[in-house]
Amino acid sequence: MLVGCPREIKNHEYRVGLTPASVREYVAHGHQVIIETGAGEGIGAGDDAYRAAGATIVPDAATVFARADMIVKVKEPQPSEWAQLREGQLLYTYLHLAPDPEQTRGLLASGVTAIAYETVTDERGGLPLLAPMSEVAGRLSIQAGATALQKANGGLGVLLGGVPGVAPGKVVVIGGGVVGLHAALMATGLGAEVTILDRSLPRLRTLDELFRGRVKTLYSTTEALENEIFAADLVIGAVLVPGAAAPKLVTREMLPGMKAGAVMVDVAIDQGGCFETSHATTHSDPTFVVDGVVHYCVANMPGAVPITSATALNNATLHYGLMLADKGLAAVSEDRHLRNGLNIHRGRVTNAAVAAALGYELAAPEAVLKVA
Ligand SMILES: NC(=O)C1=CN([C@@H]2O[C@H](COP(=O)(O)OP(=O)(O)OC[C@H]3O[C@@H](n4cnc5c(N)ncnc54)[C@H](O)[C@@H]3O)[C@@H](O)[C@H]2O)C=CC1
Ligand SMILES: CC(=O)C(=O)O
Ligand SMILES: [Mg+2]
């Protein structure tokens, strides 16, 4: 198969879909790989590193989109990109379609077969291609929140760790999955007081055992959530209903009850955000203020630390990427976890949560792929 990787064009997105190490694996499987010139610059991988791995460098994204049988990316295609996709082509990347009707229309019109990293599953019920970026974003959320809490940045002026004789800051994490766990690890590491809310009791049990009393776990009712966020210096939004738009757990009416200068980091913004007042921001202009509360809502947080993130992402995407390149659509038919990743196929929506969120009729992957 001819596998292509364009340079990412989202705001301050420095990751790359294929690292040179991944290219070497595709080439070893007998595939040809084309890489847009400069695609790896953000991770310090120049064209020569890709050539050494066996890739051919092409001068622009248009050549990648025109020639490749399979496109490997990081972020959801931007309008100029979805216009270049075509029927019969495989797209393997993050999509986050539920809150994004415009992109969904673009992908449907293109006829492309699109596999979304964020809905590929594993045997343990996890999301293996989302997990590494959730680890990064969870850890980054505390760095971003701590920075936004500084007075000169519009925040309350609280040091999360406190100092001897002064209480630490209070961090509230809503959703105790991968993002939530890694946010809590960083926040406790800094010495903050940390509460995690989730609506999964098994998950709260696991977290309680892991932190051995160092964090407070709470079942997420509206009352518990209000009590916690009203006292919080930093709130991390980290809930997920796979494939679906995030539930709006912190409403506009709750904000006046919070401390002026408190910070809310909505990591779930890529699925539309779990705070009613969130809207997506970029690394160039990451925060805005509503009712005195600072909001940080960057939809591609891991893009800020591409050297860590691109490697972590490739570690997770390589396995299924090679299966797709080796077998094409047959890989999706054969493997139910990869099939869960199929969101769009030849003009049909094939993910139940996306279809429900955007009002499309669901075309089940088994039906469109004619899986027995
Ligand atoms: N902004 C960014 O750059 C990035 C965003 N993300 C996003 O972060 C979000 C969280 O991802 P993960 O931690 O990997 O998901 P996860 O599935 O590991 O964890 C989500 C948790 O939310 C809980 N939850 C669901 N509904 C809830 C509710 N109503 N109240 C309380 N808890 C609830 C679930 O029980 C689960 O424990 C996703 O939207 C993901 O796409 C991930 C990486 C980067
Ligand atoms: C998961 C996601 O949205 C990201 O890594 O950018
Ligand atoms: Mg988007």
DSSP of 164-184, one letter per residue? TTBPPPEEEEE--SHHHHHHH
Among 172, 179, 313, say which to mutate for ligand 1: greatest number of ligand atoms within 8 Å of CB: 179
Examine the residue annotation and report whether 337 is marked as an active-site residue of this protein: no
220 is in an annotated binding site: yes
Neighbours of ion ligand 3 (CB under 5 A): 100
Residue type at 325?
A
Q: Cβ contacts of residue 266 below 8 Å, gap of 6+?
A: 237, 273, 274, 275, 278, 295, 296, 297
Q: What is the CATH number of domain 2-126+305-368?
A: 3.40.50.720
Residues having CB within 6 Å of any atom of ligand 1: 118, 130, 133-134, 137, 174-180, 197-200, 203, 220, 238-241, 246-247, 249, 267-271, 299-302
Rounded to an integer, what distance in angstroms lies between the CA atom of residue 254 and that of residue 257? 6
- DSSP structure string for 51-115: HHHT-EEESSHHHHHHH-SEEE-SSPPPHHHHTT--TT-EEEE----TT-HHHHHHHHHHT-EEE
* Residues 46-71 as b or e (16 or more Cβ within 10 Å = b): ebebbeebbbebbeebebbbeebbbb
Q: Pairing state of beta strands 170-174 and 293-296?
A: unpaired
268 is in an annotated binding site: yes
CB of 360 closer than 6 angstroms to any ligand 2 atom: no
pLDDT at 263: 98
- Residue 265 Cα to ligand 3 midpoint, Å, equals 17
Q: Which CATH architecture has domain 138-302?
A: 3-Layer(aba) Sandwich (3.40)
CB of 133 closer than 6 angstroms to any ligand 2 atom: yes
pLDDT at 357: 96
CB atoms within 10 A of CB 141: 28
* Residues 333-370 as b or e (16 or more Cβ within 10 Å = b): bebebbbbbbbbbeebbbbbbbbebbebeebebeebbe
115 is in an annotated binding site: no
Examine the residue annotation and report whether 100 is marked as an active-site residue of this protein: no
Here the tokens at position 245 are 């738009």
Q: What is the pLDDT along the chain (372 residues), one digit of tens a residue?
A: 999 999 999 999 999 999 999 999 999 999 999 999 999 999 999 999 999 999 999 999 999 999 999 999 999 999 999 999 999 999 999 999 999 999 999 999 999 999 999 999 999 989 999 999 999 999 999 999 999 999 999 999 999 999 999 999 999 999 999 999 999 999 999 999 999 999 999 999 999 999 999 999 999 999 999 999 999 999 999 999 998 999 999 999 999 999 999 999 999 999 999 999 999 999 999 999 999 999 999 999 999 999 999 999 999 999 999 999 999 999 999 999 999 999 999 999 999 999 999 999 999 999 999 886
Among 249, 266, 267, 281, say which to mutate for ligand 1: greatest number of ligand atoms within 8 Å of CB: 267
Which residue has 């998950």 as its token pair? 203
131 is in an annotated binding site: no
> Where do the CATH 3.40.50.720 domains begin and end in the chain?
2-126+305-368, 138-302
User: What does DSSP assign to residue 157?
Assistant: -
Rounded to an integer, what distance in angstroms lies between the CA atom of residue 230 and that of residue 199? 19
Here the tokens at position 97 are 């379609």
Rounded to an integer, what distance in angstroms lies between the CA atom of residue 155 and that of residue 147? 8
The backbone torsions φ and ψ at residue 235, rounded to the nearest 5 degrees and listed phi first, read -115, 130
Rounded to an integer, what distance in angstroms lies between the CA atom of residue 143 and that of residue 137? 10
